[in-house]
Structure formats: C-alpha cells, structure tokens
Amino acid sequence: MLRRKTVVPRGCNVQPDISKHHESPHIEWNQNHYSPIDYQQESPYLHQPHQSQPQQQQYQIKEDEYPSKRYLMKNHQRYQPQHHHLQHQTSTNTSHQLHSAKERRSRSQPQQFRFDTNINSNINYSNIPTSTTFIEAQRLSMDSETSGSNDSGIRSSTHSTTSSIGASTISNAQVNDDMLIVEAIWDHVAMLADELPFAQGDVITVLDATSTSGLWYGMCRDRTGWFPASYVKIKSEESIKPSSQQTSPLKDDEFPSAVRYQRRRVVEELMETERDYVKLLKDLVYGFLEQCKKRKEMFNNDRITRIFGNISSILSLHINLLKELEASFDKESPENSLIANAFLRNSRSFNIYTEYCNNRPVSCTELATIERQPKYRHFFEACRLLRGMSKLTLEGFLLTPVQRICRYPLQLFELLKSTPTNHLDRIPLEQAHRTMKAVAIHINDSKRRIDSIQKIILWQKNVHGFRGPDIIENNHRTLISGELHCRAIMKRSIQWSKLVHVYLFDQSIVICKKDVLKKNSLVFKERMSLQTVNVIDINDGKEPITGAQLKNSFKLTGPVREYIFTCPDPATKGLWIETLRNRPRPMPPTNAEKRLAIVMLP
C-alpha cells in the first residue's frame, strides 16, 4: 500500500501542535489529595495522602464522545513576505550577524505566513464579553492574531503583542534571548497600542531581533513594544553575540554558590508549577468544558460561559508561555536560564485574567445552584475520574487560575532577589516583576470597581420614586454621602429648604429625604449632573440672595438651579469641597461591567 507523502513548502517547518490534542479517556484512581495553591507554601500544588477510595462514578461519559486523538494539518501555504524597512547600516550588519546561524523565530514576533489548518479550535471568542476598558484595548490584538481570521492579515503581518493561536502549531519556533542595547537615532511616535514610542537618544533594550519584517521588539522607559530597526543604531558591539555565548555562566565571585543554588531552586519551581498548571488547565478544558458542550440538554452556552468564563483563552496563553519558558530553560544550569522575556512578550495577554476573576462569583453561584441536582454532581464526578484528577470539586479546580495569577509576582520577586545585578536576566526580570505586579493590581482594581457598581445598584433600588436614568449609566462609585441642610434657589428665590441626605457620585449628585412611612428608607427628591456645576466656598455670614445667616456652607451653581449646603462643622465642609473639586475623571461603566454587576447581585 502506497503512502501519500505530504509536501511542505521550503521554509515552513511545521508539525501538528500536540498541545491541542485530546488525551485518550481513561480512569485512574488517584490516591493523592489535591488542594488549591497556598501562597505561604513553596509550591502551589500540595499533595497530601488520602485514605479513602473515591466513590464509584454513577454517571458515565461515553468514551466514543471524546474527539479523535490525532489531528492532521492540511493545505500548507508558502508564506508571503511583507514589506521591509530600509534599515540603518549598523542595524543591517547586526541583523546579518544574528541570522548567520540557522534562523530561529520567536513566537511573539509577526508571522509572514498563514496556515489553513482546518482544526476545530477549542476557543470560542464570541462567548467572551469585554468586561473592562483594559480588556477592550486588548481585544483588537487578540482578534488580529487568531488563525483563520479574514480581517487580520494586515495587522498580523506588521505587529503582534501576544502569541497567536495559529502560531502555536509551529512547534519548532524558538525564543531568541539575544539582548541588544541600541540608541534611537530618530523619534518614533507609536501609532498602534503595541508599538514602542521613544525619542532621539533614548537607550532601548532589544528583546527580539529575529523578525525579517524590519521590526524589533524592545523595552524603553518601562514600556515594551515593536519599533522599526532603521530607527536605532547599535550602542554596544559587545552585545552582538550568539545566544549560546551570552548565557555563559558568571564567575564564582560574581555569582556565589549560595545565590546560584537559590536561583536554580526558584527557576526549577517556576517551571514545575507552570507545567502542572498547564496540565490542570487542559484537564478543565478538555475534561470538563468540552464534555459540558456535548450535553446540550444539561448545559446551554450561557451556562457554560457562566461556569468556565474564558478559561479556554487562559489555556491558550499558558500553552504559549510554557513553550517559551521551555525554550529559554537551561536544563544543565537552570540558574543561567533567561526566562523574563517570556513574561514580557506575553504581558498584554495576561489582561484576560481580569475577565476570569470578575466572573468568579458568577461561576460559584451557578455551580452552587446546579449541583443541588444529583445528575450534575454525578456528571462532574465522572469528568474528574476520566481525567484522573485528584478528589476536589469543580469549584476548587476553577479557583486555581485566580491564585496562579496572584502568585507570579511573588515568584518573580523571589527570582529577582537571587539574581545578581550583572546577570543577563536582571533588567528584563525587573520589568517582568513590575509588569506582573501591575496585572495583579489591575485585577484587584477591576474587582473593586464591580463591587462599587453593585453598591450603587442596590442603593438605587432602595430609593422610592427614583427618576431619571440609572446612576450607573454615568457613575461607577460613591465618593461621599451625608446629612446636610440644603436650600434650593431658582431665579433668586428659595424653592425649598430642609435637612436632606446628599449622595455624591463621580459624575452626579442626588438629593433624598427620609421616608416618614418606612424606617431607614429614602425618597428621591432631586438630582444634578456635575458636568456643568461650579463649586463655590461661602464665607460665614449673611447670604446676599436669601439674606440668611450661613455658617460652614458651600454652593453648587448649575444652569437652572443653585444649591446651598450647610455642613455641621468646618471639617465636614472642607471634606465636601475637596471631594467635589478633586473628583476623578469620567469613567462610566462599560456594558459588560454593568451586566456582570447585575448578574452578581445577591
């Protein structure tokens, strides 16, 4: 029997991505008890002996429902080279020296070819809402990098901030860790979000110089991005060395044995925990999520999204991250590994964790609701046994990504403490630590923002007779509130004067009065937008318009009405005036944030 030989165009070394293959179903009795990550421990995966055997599954999954074990790649197309920039002479010489050896392509650089793999992707971006403005900025980059997209050809051929899903099929792509120090000879204005802006004379650290499109990826002033190689010149010829020479070990006096051992231990722990984490993500996606999609009578698309969020996107990110970490990992001398660049190249992709963490309460609520029915409990137990996972609930497994993203800054900080100042990984590692710390801070800020929106929704529900658009249409948090005496003035005459409850939001002020029929209830009275309001500090004394004696008062003047508020003491007056004058710039909630806040209401 003749076997057809697949012809692959020259220059396209391609093999199927084994990371996307589904493992064959099996049942494995695991005696180890799995517990979520504990940040006080050295390793996030603790194994404790479990005495009792798991109960026999009561709900079986048919093995023939699993996808096939192998995928074949078809229709390879020869890549089409894109435009080339006219490079500066010194930059051209450098590029020739870098490409004198066999060319290695970083997975984060632009791809000049596209494959029609005909593979059913496990990632469905249509189910992923943009929860924050931070994610909104990332969405263009993510859409442009998905293999098979019809509208991403121009952008993906010039810029890329994250490793594409299609690029994950190139298993032989290597991460170039050459570190060049260059100096800008012209100003570069960033036109896209993933470009690196700099001024003439700035010093730039090149993180990736393997692109054939004339674009380099580097870091300047704590920012990373792409820039034309023709805009810079080599600052130090000593930096143009092959990767194997750059990673030569430091001298004993520069790298003491105790520090060397500590760095080796931290690097090995980081690699081991990342491998375990990717395995867990695969178990969740292939063992749970994919099986839920096959049970249409039990799980619709909305329910699957509420339970799992965008965990498929997280799996894709960490498959690429692990490949880059493995490529930069020195097995013989782990302490000499240069792993920081892998985090820098994928720094923007970590923003997808914001959506996952915000969806966490929704997932817990949904699981608590459906697991009251025995058929769902038996189904999840069968999924766990078929993947050979340790005895833990699905809710516990889904907590791991939240813990993992918060652990990266701690691990990188430990690695930074054991890295000498003259180590080649020192400068990128400092930037990687700051980047991952900023990601964790942003996730926490996003969670607090959702909580603030929820509080506004609950407050408005308890106000009787509320009129006008919802407060969350233009406001996302309450700045200050209190009981003040208010005088409403129109056309130089007092409309009303009484003790009221005033609530100041970031873009609106709402005045309420007590409900005489219900205790601890409020009745809506008036509201005013702060877009065209002036804040005036009133000196103690007689007010010229009303003739009233005022003390500890301030005035808000609008297009139609004026309000004079009297505070109980000078400190309260100062606090209100300062809050009004220094309120944050307008940041209205996005539709995704409002939807998420409403879904998460108790």
Q: What element of type H or E holds 555?
A: strand 553-557
- Cα–Cα distance measured from residue 532 to residue 346, given in angstroms and rounded to the nearest whole number: 43
Q: Which two tokens stand for residue 567?
A: 């505070």
**Which pLDDT belongs to residue 502?**
96
User: Which H or E element spans position 511?
Assistant: strand 508-514
Full-model pTM: 0.57
End-to-end CA distance of the chain: 66
> Is the Cα dihedral 161, 165, 166, 168 positive or negative?
positive
Tokens of 492: 């130089």
272 vs 43: CA distance, rounded Å: 9
Q: How far is CA 491 from the centre of its chain?
A: 52
Q: Length of the chain, please?
A: 602
pLDDT of residue 311: 96
What residues contact 491, with CB distance under 8 A and at least 6 apart?
none
pLDDT of res. 543: 76
The confidence score (pLDDT) of residue 521 equals 86
Q: Note the Cα 246 to chain centre separation in Å.
A: 32
Burial state string for 395-420 with b = 16 or more CB within 10 A and e = fewer than 16: bebbbbbbebbbbbbebbebbbebbe
Strands in 11-58 per DSSP E: 32-35, 46-49
Contact between residue 59 and residue 382 where contact means Cβ atoms under 8 Å apart: yes
Residues 6+ apart with CB under 8 A from 64: none
Contacts of 94 (CB under 8 A, 6+ apart): 180, 209, 234, 240
The pLDDT assigned to 598 comes to 87
Residue type, 300: N
Tokens matching residue 217: 């990826």
The confidence score (pLDDT) of residue 276 equals 96
Instruction: Tell me which residue has tokens 């993992």.
Output: 404
> Residue 334 and residue 171: Cα distance in Å, rounded?
22
Rounded Cα distance between 57 and 52, Å, is 15
Task: Mark residue 452 as left, alpha or beta (left: phi above 0; alpha: psi -120 to 50; beta: remaining).
Answer: alpha
Write down the residue that tokens 């093995």 correspond to: 63
Q: What element of type H or E holds 504? A: strand 493-505
Q: Who's near 465: CB < 8 A, 6+ residues apart?
A: 523, 524
From residue 508, how far is each of 5, 500, 595 by CA, in Å?
Answer: 70, 16, 21
Tokens 């692990």 -> residue: 322
The kind and range of the H/E element at 498 are: strand 493-505
CA atoms of 117 and 440, how far apart (whole Å) = 35
- Which residue has tokens 């096939």? 68
Residue 212 is predicted with a pLDDT of 65
CA distances from 42 to 48, 124, 291, 333 (A): 15, 35, 33, 21
Contact, 61 vs 79, CB < 8 A?
no
Domains of the chain in sequence order:
89-126+160-246 (2.30.30.40), 257-458 (1.20.900.10), 464-599 (2.30.29.30)
Residue 280 burial class via C-beta count within 10 angstroms: exposed 0-12, middle 13-18, buried 19 and up: buried
Residue ranges in the chain modelled with pLDDT below 50: 1-178, 236-247
At 155 the pLDDT is 34
- In one-letter notation, the amino acid at residue 71 is Y
Structure tokens, 524: 């809506």
Instruction: Tell me the backbone φ, ψ of residue 392, rounded to 5 degrees.
Output: -155, 150
Calculate the dihedral angle through the C-alpha atoms of 475, 479, 485, 491, rounding to the nearest 10 degrees.
-40
Q: Rounded distance, CA 167 to CA 514, Å? A: 62
Query: Phi then psi for 470, rounded to 5 degrees?
Result: -60, 145
Q: Is 16 helix (H, G, I), strand (E, B) or coil?
A: coil
For residues 176 and 243, give the distance between their C-alpha atoms in angstroms, rounded to a whole number: 7
As a whole number of angstroms, the distance between CA 594 and CA 474 comes to 11
Strand order in the sheet with 215-220: 223-228, 215-220, 203-208, 180-184, 232-234
Residue type, 150: N
Q: By three-state DSSP, how is residue 124 classified?
A: coil
Q: Which residues pair with 524 in a beta bridge?
A: 512
The tokens of 372 are what? 């009251």
| DSSP per-residue string spanning 175-221 | -----EEEEESS-B---STTB--B-TT-EEEEEE---SSSEEEEEET
The set of residues, in sequence order, having a beta carbon less than 8 Å from that of 62 and lying 6+ positions away, is none
Contacts 24+ apart (CB under 8 A), 588-591: 588/473, 588/474, 588/475, 588/476, 588/507, 589/449, 589/453, 589/472, 589/476, 590/130, 590/131, 590/132, 590/133, 590/136
What is the signed CA dihedral for 298, 299, 303, 308, rounded to 10 degrees? 120
Given a contact cutoff of 8 angstroms between Cβ atoms, the answer to whether 581 and 573 are in contact is no
Q: What pLDDT is stored for residue 220 in this prediction?
A: 84
Residue 337, C-beta contacts closer than 8 angstroms, at least 6 positions apart: 267, 328, 329, 330, 425
